[in-house]
Copies of this chain bind each other. A is one copy, B any other.
Amino acid sequence: MFCLCLLWHTAAAEEIKSPNGQLRLQFALQADGVPTYRLTYKGRDVIKTSKLGFDLKNAPALTSGFAVAASQQRTFDETWTPVWGEVKTIRNHYNELAVTLTQAATSRTLRVRFRVFDDGLGFRYEFPKQDKLGHFVVKEERTQFALAGDHKAFWLPGDYDTQEYSTVTSNLSEVRGKMKDAVTGNASQTTFSPTGVQTPLMLKSKDGLYINIHEAALIDYSCLNLELNDQTFVLESHLTPDAVGDKGYLQTPTHSPWRTVVVSDRAGAILESKLILNLNEPTKYKDTSWIKPVKYVGVWWEMITGRSSWAYTDATNIKLDSVDYRTLKPNGKHAANTAHVKEYIDFAALHGFDAVLVEGWNTGWEDWFGQSKDYVFDFVTPYPDFDVQELHRYAASKNVKMMMHHETSGSARNYERHMDEAYKFMVDNGYNAVKSGYVGNILPRGEHHYGQWLVNHYLYAITKAADYKIMVNAHEAVRPTGLSRTYPNLIGNEAARGTEYESFGGNNADHTTILPFTRLMGGPMDYTPGIFQTKISVLNPQNKSFVHSTLARQLALYVTMYSPLQMAADLPEHYNQHLDAFQFIKDVAIDWDDTQVLEAEPGDYITIARKAKGKSSWFIGSTCDENGRTSTVNLRFLDRGKKYVATIYADARDAHYEKNPQAYAIRKVNVTSKSKLSQYCAPGGGYAISVVETTR
């Protein structure tokens, strides 16, 4: 024991603090040359001493036997302007420690770079170019996050193929017991452990620390999961394997993604953190003028609910290269037909939406899923009742853009083969954004949605789209890690349960009080809010699901669920029944100069105020859990001396997400920076407020 302590103390150790001094990062080599780090916040342990390293395939591990060859510290402070975002400018301010380690026995070098911000820690592994380490294969990354206790966790089952699980809220010690129920069915899923969880993992310690663990800048590397030791509360990295079980093929010089720990004793600070964006590289695009936030409607919810169909016929077993749709009987339920799409275009034009998404426009939907079908779509052949040229003309005449849909069915090779032609087809036909999808198991078979092969593919699709000035909103792709800073045409992802699950049995009523703390940490989500008719049976009598939200809360989501891509997901006929409430969706901005988190507690409530880009108006949204509450917010963020009219879209006193979801009330009040608003939120409810400057 003495010996161990002695060595510990003589081992190399370094530390840096955050610019404000509240976070402290310590790096140390343990007795056997095992690199470790430790993170404290205001003197409290966030991450206790935790090991770093890698197991390699057919090569000695990079986990021990290290000595510190060099270490460097620096301070960085810059302010940059995102192409789109929650705020106008972002400050990137950190202190950095880079420790270069050499493993004498193998003459290999590994560098660990730590960046400590006021809101957390990012660190990554760097593998410099060197003689004894060129190409190498990761058997497993061995990064630990040793937590200080049995924190409350907002977690999803670890999985190589899906994030579409309900979030479980429990102590870490309860994960194992709750895992079985947590793993619900999905079109493609591969769990790996009874205590494996996903990132972003949101945690709250008994003494009130909010901790978020995720990764930043996931490029050409496998996506991170976390393996929980539920005795010690140590989380350890578990990467997504490839078809032969390997975790990553790397070549020096290279580096891992950043591993991120955002921490605060204030929940809102987690939501305000720009740490993950800051750890990504500045954009690589010279011209970003073609990238613009999009508010859209679409031919989608009517299929999700089962009223309409993606497929043009009820045939099965379709081969794209031989099918003749003229010989098949239309099923009469195909939504993506020219006349119907024109109705959406008319609606979009009337209400000032930028674009109309149409799913089910291209041939193959009769036989697209679950068969590991290679040539499943060609992305350029419309159904006979979908007139691409006419719709292009019609939409252009109404100043509305068309939004493309590329469902790949997980057949990644097929998508890549058709990608150039598909993007060119988009350009030729007036589409400047694409929603892509990866439903079902991946082809090449054995690969996973979150493995290096697909991570590489998703970015290939994004950068190739950029060649055509196309924006990408990829569903069922890997969860975002702030890449939109570098590739701002990545304007959306799914990577969690979106509104569609309201039609598949319903999301938990607290779902949207959690997502900003988990899924949204890495980037915006195409959550597709705005469902006014929350009883799905109105659209499809067979479907007994209901939206676990009041109507008023649906409005709030446009503010609380930040995205530069916002859909009004319901049908025009339902909006026409509530045009007064719909006014908020029309008015709400989708790009912002400022954002302030007014209230927040994960799993309970979130209230956020945002200032519209280049304008004086603000929008406030509040979402709460199944218990309801009264929200009290101070409007001190408004410009002093200015007068504003606040239009408040609120739950009625008798509103309830299940029993009375459409009960809302709209009222206008005059407000200033001195105003304080107290607003009732129904169970599963919330409110939305537009605050517009007035001269009266």
Contacts and interface: CB of A to CB of B under 8 A. Distances in A.
A655 B586 CA distance: 93
Interface in A238-267: 242-244, 246, 249, 251-253
Interface stretch (A369-377, A601-609, A618-626, A684-692): A369-377
Contacts of A129: 317
B319 A251 contact: yes
A208 interface: no
A243 B417 contact: no
Interface in A396-432: 413, 416-417, 420
B251 A135 contact: no
Contacts of A330: none
Contacts of A253: 319
Interface on chain A toward B: helix, strand, loop, or mixed SS?
Answer: loop
Number of copies: 2
Nearest to A136: B371
A575 to B, nearest CB: 40
A444 B243 contact: yes
Contact of A444 (B135, B371, B373, B453): B453
A316 interface: yes
A456 interface: yes
A246 B372 CA distance: 12
A374 B249 contact: yes
Interface residues of A, number: 31
A460 interface: yes
A242 B416 contact: no
Contact of A445 (B246, B319, B420): B246
A27 to B, nearest CB: 28
Contacts of A374: 249, 456
Interface of A: 129, 134-135, 137, 242-244, 246, 249, 251-253, 316-317, 319, 367, 371-374, 413, 416-417, 420, 444-447, 453, 456, 460
Nearest 7 A/B pairs, CB to CB = A243-B446, A135-B371, A134-B317, A444-B444, A243-B243, A244-B446, A244-B445
25 contacts: A134-B317, A134-B367, A135-B317, A135-B371, A135-B373, A242-B445, A242-B446, A243-B243, A243-B244, A243-B445, A243-B446, A243-B447, A244-B445, A249-B371, A249-B372, A249-B374, A251-B317, A251-B319, A251-B371, A252-B317, A253-B319, A416-B416, A416-B417, A420-B420, A444-B447
